[in-house]
Structure 1
């Protein structure tokens, strides 16, 4: 396995620092990559986290996976990039210094903006050298997400890849231009996007499901034997989701939790003012499951407050 001019022999683990750019202080910034190359040939799986620098659950998931993998038992190659957006990670920010969203900048360009250059580097040195990928995310501030896989469930290979992960929820989702998932799809590479928890917070359940999911996938691909007893996981599969939005501004008192199933017209909470003069009920427009919601009780008219998977 060769990445950025470095050759990793079979049965070895290496940490690489791929140069990205320099800060205005001339301090070098690099892309940290851990490559575990197995003793035998097999699939090449990349794991990426913190494309949005404040989404840190994935960083811990990758750390826990790497702790469990022994190169001599591995078939194929594991390429782990726990912090893709180093700039945002240091600043505890979703964005790059120029306020661009890295996950809207793929496949990038060697001569474009900082976001475009970093995206191009990641595509060239990581994605194009792999056969499969898993990209780890959380909800954006101030929201929280139920652990879920988003991918193209209509593609048979990707569908079985997603089923092997064993997340509570599988969502069929089309790709968005500029995203890593869209760029990988254009290269014919099956990729899963794992969403769980919230930004700048560790969520132990989300981390556990994510870690076990990656290990299940590696077992499914024939890369690494499952280090815990195999159990069947039933995932809810959905093809449509819908945000319930605030009909007025005020203070939200949420009455539902992540994973809860709700009926059409069921109360999801109320929006009040600060003076006890008005109450407005928030109702579910259709039957569904709560897969995300805002964490901030202060809402403006039109804000997304509850995300439903339509069942």
Structure 2
């Protein structure tokens, strides 16, 4: 499907010359009143031939950290392509964005609808339009996401590392944590990869926020990829460590209560260490939620209460006997980006030191 019959140079009747930057509005549908509905896109074309990369955000309309990162790139006049092409899409799901919603008006998930169908539902038609117009012109893709509602994610890249091209560009992006997975059926990245446009996602932060350290990380990573492809001049910035995660696990509460966390996003945990404590409204401890294994905290709930079965913490499982990343993390300088992100994301949750007595706490008996 990704035949590259469409090029970076020609968009309908609009011709983009080498070295030119053009703002476009790609109409994909119309409102009830008959007004056109369009996606805003900026296209940058380098002087010399080279790869075309698309960078998209807000496929889920409420995940706008990536929107903030792409807007920084758009407004950066020092970003001059020497070769190739760059397609910047700050908001894909404009209809969800305008409604503060993850979904389109027909309540379908755009990121489960690719490559779409030109004769299908509103969401399916939209997915097909984006796939043809953006993915169909691109050699690589970077899709920016956040955690879903009432959760936060520590920055991580997710990609199918069986593709050597994805190994190369995700390594260049420079994220400390890479989750090796192909993505769910119908997702943009999986469908794009199947159409020979290697695409990965960057997950970080919360919905409906533009968090400064998260956008800094995203911008740095995108620039790294452009440098690695010879598309802009500059030096790549390496992360303090890199690790590949093959398996993840959600840790869930067994007792209801208020949550006091003992870890933050990005922290390293060991098996049986305390992640959080639940307590009653009158302060009586009910449960110490423990880590089932060694790992790194990928994400956490931002809701200060939990009931049995609700997710509390998302772990990326790591064998700490073979991987010494905890030594690196424990010695982060205060101004290291990873430490600043950890501290910023921690402001959404209550973190306290575990009480040694609480290590023996178990759900209280019913009276």
Considering the TM-score relative to the shorter chain, is it more than 0.5? yes
Supply the RMSD in Å over aligned alpha carbons: 1.5
Tell me if structure 2 keeps the 8 A contact 1:34–1:81: yes
Partner of 1:147: 155
The structural deviation recorded for 1:277 is 4.7
The structural deviation recorded for 1:208 is 0.5
Matched, 1:266 2:301: no
Partner of 1:50: 58
Structure 1: gaps of 5 or more residues: none
1:302 to 273, 298, 309: 309
Partner of 1:33: 41
Counterpart Cα distance in 1 of 2:102 and 2:175? 24
Counterpart Cα distance in 1 of 2:222 and 2:231? 11
Tell me if structure 1 keeps the 8 A contact 2:253–2:306: yes
Counterpart Cα distance in 1 of 2:297 and 2:242? 15
Partner of 1:112: 120
Q: Judging by fraction of residues, say which structure has more strand.
A: 1
Matched, 1:284 2:284: no
SS at match of 2:165: helix
Counterpart Cα distance in 2 of 1:215 and 1:69? 13
Tell me if structure 2 keeps the 8 A contact 1:38–1:71: no
Alpha-carbon spacing, 1:231–1:214, altered in 2? closer, same or farther (3 Å): closer
Counterpart Cα distance in 2 of 1:309 and 1:69? 38
2:199 to 166, 174, 191: 191
Counterpart Cα distance in 2 of 1:96 and 1:252? 33
Counterpart Cα distance in 2 of 1:108 and 1:199? 25
How many pairs were matched up? 309
Structure-1-length-normalised TM-score = 0.95
Once superposed, which parts of structure 1, at least 4 consecutive aligned residues long, lie more than 6 Å away?
A: none
Counterpart Cα distance in 2 of 1:201 and 1:174? 27
The structural deviation recorded for 1:300 is 2.7
Counterpart Cα distance in 2 of 1:79 and 1:73? 12
Structure-2-length-normalised TM-score = 0.81
2:74 to 66, 79, 93: 66
Give CA-to-partner distance per residue, 1:236-260, whole Å, 9 cap, x none. Answer: 2211111101113332221110111
Tell me if structure 1 keeps the 8 A contact 2:224–2:237: no
SS at match of 1:207: helix
Higher mean C-alpha displacement, 66-75 vs 260-269: 66-75
Counterpart Cα distance in 1 of 2:25 and 2:34? 17
SS at match of 1:68: coil
Alpha-carbon spacing, 1:209–1:33, altered in 2? closer, same or farther (3 Å): same
Partner of 2:238: 232
Q: Which has the larger radius of gyration?
A: 2
Counterpart Cα distance in 1 of 2:79 and 2:174? 24
Tell me if structure 2 keeps the 8 A contact 1:32–1:83: yes
1:77 to 77, 85, 88: 85
